[in-house]
Structure formats: structure tokens, C-alpha cells
Amino acid sequence: MCGLRMANDRIAAVIVTYNNTSMLRNLLSDCAGQTCRLNQMIVVDNSETTATITMVSTEFTLVQLIRMPQNSGSAGGYRAGIEAALQENDFVWTLDDDVSMPPDSLERLLEGMQTLARTEKVGAVRSVGRMHPFVEPTELEIAPWRGTLWRTDVMKQVGLPRADYFLYGEDLEYSLRLRSHGYRFYWIPSSKCIEVRQGKTKGSLLGVNVGVYQSAFRFYYAFRNEISIYLEYHAYSRLCRLLAYSLKVFVYLLFFGKKDRFEKLNAVLAGLRDGMRGKLGKNGHHGTD
């Protein structure tokens, strides 16, 4: 156990996974090898197969496995995992199943949290990736799930994340909710969390970078949920920037998209429409993986 935590502090890791057994195995090994010992490791499995259950139950017997009755996406998965973690822990460390971490990742996060909490109202601290430009802790506007350490007393105050976003955006809404209560987030550059798998490819339109999802349904949820959230929180400047970006994505797909471009274009338009209408939930017409 590292010397930074208080004697009675308990820390749980929450990992949401979907048909990614090999990366999950590596991540659980990283978690087990942390210099700050985890009191609880919770894996939320959205998979339809039994491969994850078999691997976790045979190779990581101390991990608590939550098998969702159906694929609930990242939103439903994190809600279920965090709800379980809040019962007995002081901190929740949220992780995607496609990251790797050196052994001191958690220790450095906890150190940063304790240092900042002396002068700031800190809700969460986050690890950095390979190309982070700063060496000192810096404020983070939004705290995504990947590689973030949350205070459970804060989570209990603001409530659980929402499951009706299904995929993408639930961490954005949760961050805005915490911010509305006065909490702040910080990067901790001494703590690393490396993304192993990339969900987007990079494109360029008239010198402007455009992130292109590999699957059409991801465009749908990403645009739908962000629009709905910005409308709910009256973040109209953010909404305008998102709508401008959606136009760039649409034009890029129209002229440079591959054979599935029309499916992606339809997903973008449907996401914009449903986001404006506030129509949330899982939409089977746009994929579930």
C-alpha cells in the first residue's frame, strides 16, 4: 500500500468493457500491479458472449464482475459500476478497457488529489497521455472517464451518471453537473494513462482537422448527446461550435468518405435531429457495439 492515502481510505477501479478480452486482461494486470493497492476492482461487462466472464473468473478471481442483461453502452455500464463502488469506497478510478498504465499511475493521481485539495475544491483528477504539454497540474475543463480519479463524497452529493445517453457524452454531462456544484478538475502530468486503441481516424478539410469515427452509429450518439447536453445546460456557445464542427464533418464525409459515407451522413443528420428534440436512449438503428 502506498504511503499517500489515509489509513482508512478505500479505492475502487471501475472498468466498462465490451468484447475486448485481450486488452482487458492487460489492464487488469496493470491495476493489480499498482503501487497503491486497490481495495476493489469492478468490471462491468456489456458483452453478449461469455469470453469476458470466463477470463475474469479464472484469471482474476478477486475482481467483482457485473454482467449487464443487455448492452447498456458506456453510460449504463459506468452508472452500474459507480453505483457498486460508492457503497464502500472513498475514491473511484474510472478506466476504459483499452488503456495501459505504469505501476505508479494511481499513486501519482492520489498525490495530486491530496495536494490540490488543500487549496482547491477538487472533484476529480486525471492522468495524461503520451503528448501532454505541461509538467505541472493544470485545470481540466471536462473530466472524461478514462484515467480519472473521483471523490465518492462528491459523487454521492451530485448523484449517479445518467444511463440514457447510452454511448458518449455521459461523462460530459457529469462533469458539467459537478461544475454546477463548484467542483473543479485537474490534469496530473506525473500520472500516465496510455490509450492503446484509437476510435477515430484523422482527416483534414481545408486545413481543419476532422475526427472520423470508423462506425456510423458513433457519429449518431456523439452528436445527439452533446447537443442535448448543451441545450440542457444552456451552453449555447459550445452548441454553436459543435454545430459548426458537424458541418465540417458532414462536408468531409460527403466528399472524402468511403463506401459507407452515406450511412455516416445519415447518422450525423439523425444525431443532430434527435439531439435537438432531446430524444435519448439506445437507438437500435445506429448500432450497439
CATH number of the domain within which 110 lies: 3.90.550.60
* Number of structural domains found in the chain: 2
Q: Residue 200 above 60 pLDDT?
A: no
Has residue 247 been placed in a domain? Answer: yes
Helix-helix angle 236-256:261-277, to 10 degrees: 160
- Looking at the fold, whether 72 and 129 belong to one and the same domain comes out as yes
- Looking at the fold, whether 150 and 267 belong to one and the same domain comes out as no
Contacts of 24 (CB under 8 A, 6+ apart): 15, 17, 43, 52, 55, 56, 97
Give the span between the Cα atoms of 141 and 176, in whole angstroms. Answer: 9
- Looking at the fold, whether 120 and 256 belong to one and the same domain comes out as no
- Looking at the fold, whether 165 and 242 belong to one and the same domain comes out as no
Domain final residue, candidates 154, 175, 195? 195
What cell numbers appear for 61 in the block? 478471481
- Looking at the fold, whether 204 and 77 belong to one and the same domain comes out as no
- Looking at the fold, whether 165 and 262 belong to one and the same domain comes out as no
Q: Residue 4 above 90 pLDDT?
A: no
- Looking at the fold, whether 183 and 255 belong to one and the same domain comes out as no
Q: Residue 144 above 90 pLDDT?
A: yes
Q: Give me the mean pLDDT over the 110-138 stretch.
A: 94
For residue 140, which of 167, 104, 166, 116 has the smallest C-alpha distance?
Answer: 116
Q: Residue 205 above 80 pLDDT?
A: no
- Looking at the fold, whether 168 and 155 belong to one and the same domain comes out as yes
- Looking at the fold, whether 92 and 60 belong to one and the same domain comes out as yes
13 and 42 in contact (C-beta within 8 Å)?
A: yes
- Looking at the fold, whether 155 and 30 belong to one and the same domain comes out as yes
Domain final residue, candidates 195, 216, 241? 195
Give the span between the Cα atoms of 47 and 18, in whole angstroms. Answer: 5
Domain containing residue 65: 11-195
The tens digit of pLDDT for each residue in 235-273 reads: 999 999 999 999 989 998 998 887 789 999 999 999 999
Give the span between the Cα atoms of 258 and 233, in whole angstroms. Answer: 36
The tens digit of pLDDT for each residue in 163-178 reads: 999 999 999 999 999 9
Contacts of 140 (CB under 8 A, 6+ apart): 126, 185, 186, 187
Q: β-strand 194-195 against 99-100: which pairing, if any?
A: antiparallel
The tens digit of pLDDT for each residue in 222-240 reads: 999 999 999 999 999 999 9
Tally the C-alpha atoms within 13 A of residue 243's C-alpha that lie toward its C-beta. 14
- Looking at the fold, whether 121 and 97 belong to one and the same domain comes out as yes
Q: Give me the mean pLDDT over the 5-19 stretch.
A: 88
Percentage of the chain modeled with pLDDT above 70: 90
Domain final residue, candidates 172, 195, 218? 195
For residue 127, which of 168, 169, 96 has the smallest C-alpha distance?
Answer: 96
Give the span between the Cα atoms of 63 and 13, in whole angstroms. Answer: 10
- Looking at the fold, whether 183 and 206 belong to one and the same domain comes out as no
pTM above threshold 0.85: yes
For residue 117, which of 2, 12, 1, 6 has the smallest C-alpha distance?
Answer: 6
CA 119 to chain centre: 27
Q: Give me the mean pLDDT over the 93-120 stretch.
A: 96
Q: Give me the mean pLDDT over the 215-221 stretch.
A: 93
